A and B are shown apart, each in its own frame.
Chain A
């Protein structure tokens, strides 16, 4: 392992004087070893965070993170970067709030600027059902120790002057305000974790597709990959939309269906909105990036697919609804559109669980809202893999479906979230 120079204001000044020739690779490119103590499949945010906390919190450093494509090229690089923890159910609030609080210090922890911007998130109430629902959530959050507040339409207008609160069809009746929510730079989260993992001696291996899982007597022995076979003592599957494909290799089924969720960004404009707005009734959410683009999240496709593309009619639905609430957007051109494959569970809550294979663990089912959970998810998954259980993960076991112990956020939010 080479000596790692720390990122700092001093480093920027130093490099400015020598034509920026001293920057190091963010993570090392190493070959696959024949055996690891633990292998994580999937080098997205959740997989990398799992590996990072395995090393940092549990001292497990002989770890490989395998990635089929490129690092952070799945949903980690395809989301709308919103971070919030205003969930209704206690287990959800606990893990998302853990994640949000870890985001606050992530840049310092990783010595890598993830540009966490706690600019505040408003979830708009545009029907009376939503008003009741969000008031209830605000009360639940107060009991959970998550700081949120129910605000009226005037306060919404004050926080976000470009909003039209008197829309004839969907007037803004108020909102659930989480002042400490916000956004972060999604790629930087993956890169920062990869850099920290690499510095701990872990191997981050890209373009290494898992083609088979070898097991014996109910235990995983190792993996077949496109870069050759590899053995492991513990296996963590953290592959989001492709969880079903890997579960099939491991010989079990998951309560998950994969659909495409899409997002789009507009041309860059001057700063006009310094909060994140989510409008669940019309199903659109929006924030303004540091480059000035309006980042817009849309709805998920209604049927299974693996296309990473999204559908035209959902763009139309989302944009049609948004320009009613934000009339000034009507002349904006849209620059890019993309889709990611999200893994939806029946109760819209994630799975962080043991599996029918003894030393194989799975972290999936984050559906349409995984980015905000990355550090909390990695924290809980690492604890589960190292100790066999985790207080943050216990409610999210696979057996909850069989036992009817849902963490039902689908009813709580009324939409995919």
Chain B
């Protein structure tokens, strides 16, 4: 079972207290963009075997959405961070690089 820490209220709890919300950092296809961009935004996912950035909601807690970096093979959670960002914080990237040599953010 995953243990996650909510970056807002600071509570660390088992995954049953949280609700998963799919891949993070998706950029909405804006007005004027073509079918390809909309299709990619709606459906195409990296689905990596390894480091994955994803959305979670502290459903049975403070109710806030936040983001997490996790390994989809080992289930290791590298860290969580607030959702009001367009890219993972640099410290977290550094942590993942240290733990997974050779990995680079997409």
- Partner-B contacts on A (CB < 8 A): 242, 244-245, 248, 253-258, 302-307, 311-313, 346, 401-402
Quick one: which of B15, B19, B22 contacts A257, CB cutoff 8 A? B22
Quick one: which of B22, B47, B75 contacts A307, CB cutoff 8 A? B75
Q: Is the CB of B46 within 8 A of A303?
A: no
Q: Main SS of the interface on chain A?
A: mixed
- Report how far A47 CA is from B23 CA in the complex, Å: 29
Q: How many B residues, CB 8 Å from partner?
A: 25
- Report how far A43 CA is from B69 CA in the complex, Å: 32
Q: Once A and B bind, how many residue pairs between them come within 8 Å at the CB atom?
A: 61
Known: A254-B47, A304-B52. A313 touches B1 (CB 8 A): yes
Known: A244-B49, A257-B22, A313-B16. A305 touches B72 (CB 8 A): yes
- Report how far A304 CA is from B68 CA in the complex, Å: 12
- Report how far A257 CA is from B52 CA in the complex, Å: 11
Q: Is the CB of A258 within 8 A of B47?
A: yes
Q: Is the CB of B49 within 8 A of A306?
A: yes
Q: Is the CB of A306 within 8 A of B72?
A: yes
Q: Main SS of the interface on chain B?
A: mixed
Select the stretch in B5-13, B34-42, B81-89 that faces chain A: B34-42
Minimal Cβ-Cβ distance residue in B for A401? B43
Q: Is the CB of A304 within 8 A of B39?
A: no
Neighbouring B residues of A258 by C-beta, 8 Å: 47, 49, 72
Minimal Cβ-Cβ distance residue in A for B68? A303
Q: Is the CB of A244 within 8 A of B47?
A: yes
Least CB distance from B90 to A in Å reads 24
Known: A253-B40, A303-B20, A401-B39. A245 touches B1 (CB 8 A): no
Q: A253-B45, A304-B72, A346-B43 are in contact. List 15 more A-B contacts (CB 8 A).
A: A244-B46, A244-B47, A244-B48, A245-B49, A255-B44, A257-B23, A258-B47, A302-B19, A303-B54, A304-B54, A305-B73, A306-B49, A313-B16, A401-B43, A402-B36
Known: A303-B20, A312-B1, A313-B16. A401 touches B46 (CB 8 A): no
Neighbouring A residues of B48 by C-beta, 8 Å: 244, 304
| Residue contacts A-B, CB under 8 angstroms, 19 given | A244-B46, A244-B47, A244-B48, A254-B44, A254-B47, A256-B45, A257-B23, A257-B45, A257-B47, A258-B72, A304-B47, A304-B52, A304-B54, A305-B73, A311-B1, A346-B43, A401-B39, A402-B36, A402-B39
